[in-house]
Amino acid sequence: MVVRFQVAVSLDGFLAGPDQSTQNPLGVGGEGLHAWLVELDVWRRLQGESGGVTNASSPVVEEAQSNVGAYVMGRNMFGGGPGPWTDDPPWTGWWGDDPPYHAPVFVLTHHPREPLPMQGGTTFHFVTEGAGVALARAKEAAGDQDVMIGGGAKAIQQYLAAGQVDSFELHITPVTLRAGERLLEDVGDLRLEQIRAIGAPGVTHVKYRVVR
Amino acid sequence: MVVRFQVAVSLDGFLAGPDQSTQNPLGVGGEGLHAWLVELDVWRRLQGESGGVTNASSPVVEEAQSNVGAYVMGRNMFGGGPGPWTDDPPWTGWWGDDPPYHAPVFVLTHHPREPLPMQGGTTFHFVTEGAGVALARAKEAAGDQDVMIGGGAKAIQQYLAAGQVDSFELHITPVTLRAGERLLEDVGDLRLEQIRAIGAPGVTHVKYRVVR
């Protein structure tokens, strides 16, 4: 089992553009980070759709999505605004009734909430005891499979800084956002080794191992 | 003829680490940006040395160095400290008697100085009339060949922001510097297209075209 993450980044290092909102969760210009992804057949099938293309990105996405036994994500990634959870109506994430996780998802939050089972095997668990506890619970749930840190930037940075990430893959896009949330900031003194790089239409996939 | 540049960058987007000095021109940690390069046979031969390895980076470096008719570089890249030029002793660059340019090099400076011919076909010209004039003179000198913006960050940013760069190649290294000179900052609203990506030991080479 490894603890890993994979994210699309702009060439100037941002995970999301400025002015993130419920309508615009990746911020201004941030949707460009996923232009290479949303046209893929493998991605459309994950959303229950069809059509789309197959190219050098397809096996990368398939590999990244496979063997994941549990997820950890930050509160902003799950959404529903800051502060206590409300029931009017209850926020159940950005992804509809059948989220593309199909595994337990541990959401970092300061506000307790009952577990939220969704269709397709996804259950959101809300963890108020901190990032360490969330990761321990995700590892236990994942068994032999990997734990994926789903995002956002703060959650990833927290686990990188704590030395708890084994490897990660960046999908480096030819987008410049100029402002927003940077990925590699406040992550401490990181020693990395490049595992592989794959060029694909509109994106370069590079995988790194964290050296301890 | 195209106007282009190529630079090694850290994964967190820096061209050089903090605390650049004459002894440490790439700043603290910055020498790690060139670890993949200095071991290459093609690079050692450019320095008049021998030995070294040949790998997927070798043709990238050979291609990048070829067909360059003239260079433009900033004062800090040429070195010799800020302020007027002194004769005691005169600063002739970081590269010894036979710099690896073998072509005219136009140095952006506020301080006039006579042209400085070196061995091997390199002549440094000092341009006080601004970045536009320096580029025009470099284009004229280059003829059908390309103009390379040699660096540093400020010179590259200036030409990117002015829409005067046609394409560039980043050598993305698994190094994090955490501070220093960022490459893609103050470059305006840049629209890019990925041309190609090549994974090599310890580095990923990605080439972009600037879309106008």
Of A18 and B112, more confident: B112
- Any B CB within 8 A of A174 CB: yes
The chain B residue lying nearest A184, using CA atoms, is: B12
- Any A CB within 8 A of B72 CB: no
Strand, helix or coil for residue A18? coil
The closest CB to that of B172, out of A182, A185, A206, belongs to A206
Q: Report long-range pairs for A54-59 (Cβ below 8 Å, ≥24 apart).
A: A55/A200, A55/A201, A56/A198, A56/A199, A56/A200, A56/A201, A57/A198, A57/A200, A57/A201, A57/A203, A57/A205
| Confidence check: pLDDT of A81 > 90 | no
Contact of A11 with B192, CB cutoff 8 Å:
yes
| Cβ neighbour number for residue A25 with a 10 Å cutoff | 15
How much is the average pLDDT of B156-172? 97
The pLDDT-based confidence of A191 (bands split at 50, 70, 90) is: very high
- Look at residue B148 in the predicted model and tell me its pLDDT: 98
How much is the average pLDDT of A185-190? 90
- ipTM surpasses 0.95: no
pLDDT digits (tens, 9 = 90+) for A1-13: 999 999 999 999 9
The chain A residue lying nearest B182, using CA atoms, is: A12
pLDDT digits (tens, 9 = 90+) for A125-173: 999 999 999 999 999 999 999 999 998 899 999 999 999 999 999 999 9
Chain A residues with CB inside 8 Å of B175's CB?
A: 192
Instruction: Flag if B204 and A184 touch (Cβ within 8 Å).
Output: no
Q: Which fold has domain A13-19+27-84+99-210?
A: Dihydrofolate Reductase, subunit A (3.40.430)
Class of domain B3-17+27-84+99-210: alpha beta
Chain A residues with CB inside 8 Å of B203's CB?
A: 194
- Look at residue A25 in the predicted model and tell me its pLDDT: 74
Pairing of strands A116-117, B3-10: unpaired
Instruction: Flag if A11 and B196 touch (Cβ within 8 Å).
Output: no
- Any A CB within 8 A of B176 CB: yes
Report the alpha-carbon angle A68-A133-A99, nearest 5.
40
Instruction: Flag if A12 and B13 touch (Cβ within 8 Å).
Output: yes
| Confidence check: pLDDT of B121 > 90 | yes
How much is the average pLDDT of B140-160? 95
